[in-house]
Amino acid sequence: MNAADTVIDAVRRVEFGPLTTFRNLGLLALSTAGERGADYLTLDEALERKSVHIVEVSEGGHVPELKIVNEGELSVLLLDGEELLGAKQNRVINLTILVPAHRTCVVPVSCVESGRWHHVSDGFAAAPRAQFAEGRAEKMRHVTSSLKADGSRSSDQQEVWSHIAEKSARLGAVSDTSAMSAMFDASNVALDEFVAAFTPVERQLGGVFFVNGRAAGLELFDAPRTWRTLAPKLIRSYALDALDHEDTPVQSDAAADATALIHKLMSSQASVFPAVGEGSDVRFDGADALGAALVTSERAIHVSAFPVESAGTPNRDKGRRPRR
């Protein structure tokens, strides 16, 4: 089975669990028939064990790249959009990556703090969140395009900054360094309430998120433990969009809408590339949905998908040029 078929098979076999709704955010649980273990650590787990270090690629730094040193016995999973705090400026990971044990990898990132370029720490810490989902969808689209064009994994950095600036203005978040983190910090109490409202169910591998009753994205992992560990980061990612677009939810059939998103993903054109680190990077690019997945040893470690309307672009004339 090739990597794209592995993803489609994993998505096709999920079972729908309960739908939980809090305010204008919904989460339809995706479950599996049997419990599976994870043979890797999440970034937070590895940082707690002090077996991994994330630093600038050099003393001078390079905006679109960071270096991760894995000194541990297990691979380390970096989540697409996971925010890293510190060093010369805050970044987010451009795609899900599995860093092998005893390996150093240079990983592609995007800056989410355009007004700072000086060290505040030697290395990076992991934030309790991932980039807001609308931004992740846009970044995914650009990373897919760059992979197809020249094999790189680049975002549109100016677009990332523009979207942060526009969203910050709408949410009334102020930051001297134009940091994305200010939005999450300003909404921290509300975001914690969202996290508390969505308790993982038995055998849950992921979920389909709904904002105002409309499907906003799908997140699926290979093991329930991974979902339980990373769910709070992803809930905050989607919850910030829910706060940004708070409205009365429309009446919809969550299972039907989730099924439609899955079918759109499976009917999209799939391309397979060697992954950064372990495995294969699968990209789905269709008229109605876009997605990305990391596959290793015929296991879809993480699948993420968005309806195309979630990847709309802000005004590209706004924002700053990347620093080098």
pLDDT of residue 310: 67
**pLDDT of 11-42, one tens digit each?**
999 999 999 999 999 999 999 877 778 999 99
pLDDT score, position 34: 72
User: Quick check: 317 pLDDT over 60?
Assistant: no
- The model's confidence at residue 311, banded by pLDDT at 50, 70 and 90, is low
Average pLDDT over residues 296-323: 68
Contact indicator for 215, 253 with CB cutoff of 8 Å? no
Q: Which two tokens stand for residue 120?
A: 């505040």
Residue 181: alpha-carbon gap to chain centroid: 15
- Tell me the pTM: 0.94
pLDDT score at 171: 96
Q: Which of 27, 44, 80, 73 is nearest to 225 (CA)?
A: 44
Separation in Å, CA 217 to CA 179, 225, 241, 243 = 24, 20, 11, 16
CA dihedral 216, 195, 249, 310 (to 10 degrees): -20
Could you give the angle at the alpha carbon of 164 between the alpha carbons of 242 and 114, nearest 5°?
155
Region 136-157: mean pLDDT is 97
d(CA 120, CA 10): 42
Burial (CB count <10 Å: 0-12, 13-18, 19+), residue 90: buried
> Tens digit of pLDDT for each residue in 160-173?
999 999 999 999 99
User: Distance between the two ends of the chain, CA-based, in angstroms?
Assistant: 42
Tens-digit pLDDT profile for residues 64-117: 999 999 999 999 999 999 999 999 999 999 999 999 999 999 999 999 999 999
